[in-house]
């Protein structure tokens, strides 16, 4: 059956080639988009203006000596009326515009152009009375609805172009995602931030706790890491004299795939010199409301996993130490041991890696207890120093850091803190992280001598913040993978 359909399509292609010389011309006549023609319909009709439109054939009805077809461009659909009387050859050969060629070769999925004047059909549909048409691109495979349905999620993600083609809601999803990132960019530029681009290949990956990808640079004959964060290069720019910088770029983390994690994703980080913790938190909250307003609008409410999230209210502050003690009974202000944390994890049935140190254990327990209670948009503050190797200590409590995380729907939606700019303290924390790596923790951070040297030249006090497209996924109530146009997938066997 499928082979028969493909054979017929190729036969029609040969007819087009015989008549036109090619079914894939390099030029297409177009006076305006389909929607623009519809919007100006009354004016165009009154003046009998000839228009040319282009698009993919989405519906086709041939009835003897007439035919109707809808074509779709990026703006929308418009109907064409084809008549043998209008398209029949006259004094000179017009094989390109004959009605018979249209009937014999045009199918759903083809791209064509239509030229003619607008009119209103008996059903009051705004249409074009076609005086000439052109094949722009002959489709050689049947669209999913022509031959078979495409419902499997894995296949839709693997062949996203068909998902976009057949599902308008998928196309709209990525229009909203573009709006998401443009809002972020505009928000920061309006506040005096400079957008920069930093290297994807790094000698030492840093700025996050994640396992990196490794690649080899042939010209330099040296291994590099794909960046896991944007943080350390941007902070070097603060050392260099810029006061407000940001980057929107792709980062790579060699970790598992689940609803919230992907190996490569878009990420934003900004750094603002001389900005204190409270000012930074207020700016982040303002940024999020701007994003929600731009992406979903209305009453600033979204739905996530059956819960209604209200983004319009001031974000509630959640104290990390207080929440952790409430859920586990452990006071992190005390000298808590690894054995105590392991015992608590065992008691709660929480799995952890055998090489996990104190910070990793605290973080694992927090994610399975505290975070599960955080539904409405809030800001978690005051993280333990063991889970915040790049954040400045809280001067009121050396066990805590000046760190914040926006959270909603049980998901961490960003990470910010007053940046650690003491090179001696930073070296000690890197060294502690390296001991964890030596003990088997592949996600612990590496010691970056070049960054430490940059800090030794002096970095101004600053607030930094980063977030990924996970926020967009939560706003759309989808997994991160669904909100990436071409997510990494296993090849089909």
DSSP codes, 58-108:
EEEEEETTEEEEEEE-SS-EEEEEEEHHHHS--SS--GGG-HHHHHHH--T
pTM, two decimal places: 0.89
Mean pLDDT to the nearest integer, 231-252: 97
Mean pLDDT of all residues in 172-189? 97
Q: Is 27 helix (H, G, I), strand (E, B) or coil?
A: coil
Residue range 2-149 forms a domain whose CATH class is mainly beta
For residue 490, what are the CA distances in angstroms to 260, 265, 473?
18, 17, 21
3-state DSSP call for residue 42?
helix
Region for residue 104 given its phi and psi (left: phi exceeds 0; alpha: psi -120 to 50; beta: otherwise): alpha
Q: Where are the domains of the chain?
A: 2-149, 162-483
**What is the pLDDT confidence band of residue 149, given thresholds at 50, 70 and 90?**
low
pLDDT band for 489, please (50, 70, 90 cuts). Answer: confident
Assigned CATH for 162-483: 3.30.930.10
Report, as an integer, the average pLDDT of 291-301. 92
The predicted-structure confidence for 249-259, as pLDDT tens digits, reads as follows: 999 999 877 88
Q: What is the mean pLDDT of residues 56-71?
A: 96
pLDDT digits (tens, 9 = 90+) for 416-461: 999 999 999 999 989 988 988 888 887 788 889 999 999 999 999 9
């Amino acid at each position: 059956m499928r082979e028969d359909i493909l054979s017929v399509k190729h036969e029609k292609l040969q007819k087009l080639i015989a008549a036109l010389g090619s079914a894939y011309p390099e030029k297409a006549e177009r006076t305006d988009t389909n929607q623009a023609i519809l919007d100006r319909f009354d004016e165009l009709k009154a003046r009998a203006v000839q228009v040319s439109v282009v698009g993919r054939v989405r519906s086709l009805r041939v009835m003897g000596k007439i035919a109707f077809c809808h074509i779709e461009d990026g703006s929308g659909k418009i109907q064409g009326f084809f008549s043998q009387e209008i398209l029949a050859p006259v004094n000179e050969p017009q094989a390109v515009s004959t009605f018979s060629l249209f009937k014999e070769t045009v199918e759903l999925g083809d791209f064509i152009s239509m030229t003619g004047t607008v009119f209103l059909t008996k059903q009051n549909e705004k249409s074009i009375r076609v005086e000439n048409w052109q094949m722009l691109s002959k489709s050689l495979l049947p669209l999913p609805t022509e031959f078979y349905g495409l419902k499997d999620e894995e296949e839709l993600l693997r062949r996203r172009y068909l998902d976009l083609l057949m599902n308008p809601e998928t196309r709209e999803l990525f229009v909203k995602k573009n709006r998401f990132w443009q809002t972020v960019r505009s928000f920061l530029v309006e506040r005096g931030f400079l957008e920069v681009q930093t290297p994807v290949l790094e000698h030492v990956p840093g700025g996050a706790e994640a396992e990196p990808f490794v690649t080899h640079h042939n010209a330099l004959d040296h291994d590099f890491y794909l960046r896991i964060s944007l943080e350390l290069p941007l902070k070097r720019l603060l050392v260099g004299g810029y006061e407000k910088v940001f980057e929107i770029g792709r980062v790579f983390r060699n970790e598992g795939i689940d609803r919230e994690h992907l190996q490569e994703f878009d990420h934003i980080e900004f750094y603002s010199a001389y900005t204190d913790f409270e000012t930074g938190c207020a700016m982040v909250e303002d940024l999020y409301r701007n994003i929600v307003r731009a992406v979903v609008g209305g009453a600033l409410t979204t739905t996530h996993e059956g819960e209604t999230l209200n983004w319009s209210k001031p974000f509630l502050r959640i104290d990390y130490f207080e929440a952790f003690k409430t859920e586990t009974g452990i006071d992190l202000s005390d000298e808590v041991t690894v054995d105590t944390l392991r015992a608590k994890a065992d008691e709660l049935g929480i799995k952890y890696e055998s090489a996990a140190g104190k910070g990793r254990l605290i973080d694992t327990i927090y994610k399975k207890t505290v975070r599960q209670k955080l539904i409405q948009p809030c800001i978690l503050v005051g993280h333990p120093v063991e889970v915040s190797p790049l954040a400045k200590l809280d001067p009121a409590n050396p066990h805590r850091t000046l760190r914040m995380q926006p959270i909603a729907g049980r998901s961490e939606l960003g990470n910010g803190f007053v940046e650690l700019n003491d090179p001696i303290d930073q070296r000690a924390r890197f060294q502690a992280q390296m001991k964890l790596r030596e003990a088997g923790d592949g996600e612990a951070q590496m010691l970056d001598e070049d960054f430490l040297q940059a800090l030794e030249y002096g970095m101004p006090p600053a607030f930094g913040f980063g977030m990924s497209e996970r926020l967009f996924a939560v706003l759309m109530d989808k997994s991160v993978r669904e909100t990436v146009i071409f997510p990494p997938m296993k090849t089909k066997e």
